[in-house]
Structures are given as C-alpha cells and as structure tokens.
Structure 1
C-alpha cells in the first residue's frame, strides 16, 4: 500500500500541513468567538435560536444510528458499519454539546461542543478513506484518528486553563480532512456509486463555515436569522446528505 504514489501524496500533504501548522505560534481562543450576533432569548433561555438550530443534529444523529443499527445502511460497506455508527453518534452528541455551549457560551462549555464534533470529523474521514483507499487501512487508523481528535480538544482546553491557549491541533483535526477528502476522491475510485453525495457533504460543510464567518453580516442583512444559526442548519444538512448516501448508494461491481 505504501508503494502507491497516490498514498505518498496524501502522506506528504499531511506531513507538510502538520509541520506548517505547528511552525506557527500557538493560537489562543479569541474571547470574541463567544459573542454571537443573535443573542435573543425567550423564557429565560439565552441564545434561543442558536440553541434551536442545534437540535437537527440530534434528530439526524438518531436517524443515522437507527439506520445502521437496523442493518439498513445498504449504501455503505459492511466492514465500515461501526465507523458509520460512530459518525452519527458524534452528530447526535454534537447537538447536545451545542445546546449546552450556547446556553452559556464560554471556553468551559465549548469543550463539550467540540469533543463530539471531532468524533464526527474523524469518523467521516475514516469512512471516506475506507470507501476509497482501503477499508482495512481505514479500520486500523480509525481508533488512532478518534483518539487524536479527542486529544486535540483536550489539549486545547488544558492549554487555555494554563493561560496559553493553543488551538493548532484542533485546527488540523477540523480542516485537514476538508483538504484531504477532495484529493482522495480525485486520486482514488470509490467502491460505491453516488460520489455526488460525498461532494455534497463537503460543499455543505464548507458553506456552513462561511455562514459562521459572516455571522453578524448575515444577521444584520436578514434580521431574522444569524450566520451562526445557519451554520448549524447547513452543517446538520451535510450530515443528512451522508445519511441519504447510506440509504441510496450501491456497491460498484469490480
């Protein structure tokens, strides 16, 4: 497998990305991150729309876990069922973590928002690697990837507690898969049809990050919903696209 030049490209980009990120100065969490454009509340619940927009993660997470548990994820590979289940479990927990965080946004609650997200990130990356490069390789890397994702958040949290916050590892966990997955899809053929679903997930998640970046501008323009709330809804839709993929795709004949 390591003799495959395509895999060498993936490994090289990963190595360069890690070196580049950790050659930067530590990145502390900006306190302004917690100051959302839409802070409206109701019934003594603050940030109500950011809380309500987090609930689709719970719903889609349940739908996905049920699909896999009942053996109906025919649009995936049998050997990757545990990976799919972990992805939707991460999505499910992201909903609760997001609600908890947005009820009282600070670095302490942000920990519980980010932990389940890293589970979903690493599971999704493992799933795509398994469907394209090698399911055996993906399963071997699955647990180490999960551990590295969780460790990146724990490291950030501890660094903040020690007064020198460092988000660099978390930045890698969140954005390196976004860089690598399109490259993997270009270099390797999937064992399943419906590659449009995976591209849909990538595009939807990228759009959700744009919504987050333009949080205040979107809220001032629309007046009824903020970019951050739209980020939640579109990111949840990305998870729903993958749910549809596991229902509708078919294994390609070799």
Structure 2
C-alpha cells in the first residue's frame, strides 16, 4: 500500500476509536447528559450538550471522509484521493460550524448519509487493484441496515418481545464494519501479484 493509503486508513481508525470511546463513555453510565456522546438525535439536548455532540459529529465525519478518501486513493489515484480528503475535511468543518451557529444537524446527517452512498458508487464504478473488494459493499450494506435499525428502534424492540432494541442492533452492525474492513486489509493482495503467482505455478506444473 502507498503512504497515502496508509495515512487515510490511520485517520479512519483514529476516528472510529474516538466514536467508540464516546459510546463506551455513555453506556458506562447512561443518562441524558451523556447520550450525545453515543448518538446524534435530532433534538439538540440543550446548549450544555452541544460541545459533546459537535465532537462526536466531527469524529464520525473524519472517519467517513478518510474512508472515502482511502477508496479514491486505491481506485483512482493518490493526488485525487488526498484532494478529496482535504475537501471533505473542510466540508465536515463547515457542517460542524453551521451546526454550532444554527443548532441544526441536518447538514451533518446529510454528510453522513451521502458519503457511504458515494463509497458504494466509487467501488462499483472503478475496479480494484486488490482482491476481497466485495467487503466494501458488505460494509455499506451493514451500515444502511444499522441506520434502518436505529430509525426502527422501538418497533424492533417490541417485535422481538423486548429482547434487544434497534439501537443495540445498530451498535452490533456498526461494530462489524471496521472488523470487516480490517479483515479485508489483512487478507487482500494485489491482483497482478496473485495472477503472476498463478502463472508461475501453472508453468511449473506444466513443466513437471
């Protein structure tokens, strides 16, 4: 992997760790003052909770931006990917400033919805140089499922006889995404290298 790819992936995992810390912090002692460290509800939760919400939003948007940029670096090119990274981080900063001024998180929510869809589009339109590229689509599918579970929180809770809530299922799905992407990074290899090895082995067996 190139240095640009490594940098974007490091930033992605840093953002994920920050969001995970916020979630753990809330669940250790759930209350209304901590809930914004775990979720991003439409209700602002009061002015005292806004800094926490802004921090969680920033970390999530950094994770989304770096993940999209890593895909662009891999599929399209380093210069374009790093340019996307800078542009997306600026857009994320703008969304956070807008939210802080107007107490309106709609731009942040749009940012978090559009980028995963853009990841799916780029992954579909541009072929990968690596194996295990289907993990991108699996991750996006799980992300969309997680958001559906979050929206249907109470309905799912009633449907399974109050065993597990939609919010809890959302956490399970979201935790699967970095796990799947980590498996992809560990297992993948360049297609040309794999093809070359197959040709060499085929030649050896033919010679024997």
**TM-score, normalising length: structure 2:** 0.76
Counterpart in the other structure of 1:228: 167
Is the 1:122–1:142 contact (alpha carbons within 8 Å) kept by the matching residues of 2?
A: yes
> In the alignment, which of 64, 77, 94 is matched to residue 151 of structure 1?
94
Shift of 1:217: 0.8
Asked if 1:199 is matched to 2:199, the reply is: no
Shift of 1:77: 4.2
Shift of 1:90: 0.4
Query: CA 1:142/1:89 → structure 2, altered by over 3 Å: closer, same or farther?
Result: same
Asked if 1:115 is matched to 2:85, the reply is: no
Unaligned regions of 5+ residues in structure 2, if any?
36-44, 194-208
Name the CA distance, whole Å, in 2 between partners of 1:94 and 1:237: 14
Shift of 1:100: 4.5
Name the CA distance, whole Å, in 2 between partners of 1:230 and 1:157: 30
Asked if 1:186 is matched to 2:87, the reply is: no
> In the alignment, which of 184, 187, 212 is matched to residue 150 of structure 2?
212
Name the CA distance, whole Å, in 1 between partners of 2:25 and 2:94: 21
Shift of 1:134: 1.4
Shift of 1:78: 4.2
SS of 2:18's partner is helix
Unaligned regions of 5+ residues in structure 1, if any?
1-75
Is the 1:97–1:114 contact (alpha carbons within 8 Å) kept by the matching residues of 2?
A: no
**TM-score, normalising length: structure 1:** 0.63
Counterpart in the other structure of 1:138: 81
Shift of 1:157: 2.7
Shift of 1:145: 1.3
Name the CA distance, whole Å, in 1 between partners of 2:106 and 2:159: 33
Name the CA distance, whole Å, in 2 between partners of 1:199 and 1:133: 17
Shift of 1:208: 0.5
Structure richer in helix, relative to its length: 2
SS of 1:190's partner is coil
Name the CA distance, whole Å, in 2 between partners of 1:99 and 1:150: 25
Counterpart in the other structure of 2:187: 248
Name the CA distance, whole Å, in 2 between partners of 1:218 and 1:239: 24
Q: How many residues are aligned here?
A: 174
Higher RCO, 1 or 2 (CA under 8 Å, sep at least 6)? 1
Name the CA distance, whole Å, in 2 between partners of 1:219 and 1:91: 26
Counterpart in the other structure of 2:71: 128
- RMSD after superposition: 2.0
Is the 1:122–1:146 contact (alpha carbons within 8 Å) kept by the matching residues of 2?
A: yes
Farther off after superposition, 172-181 or 85-94: 172-181
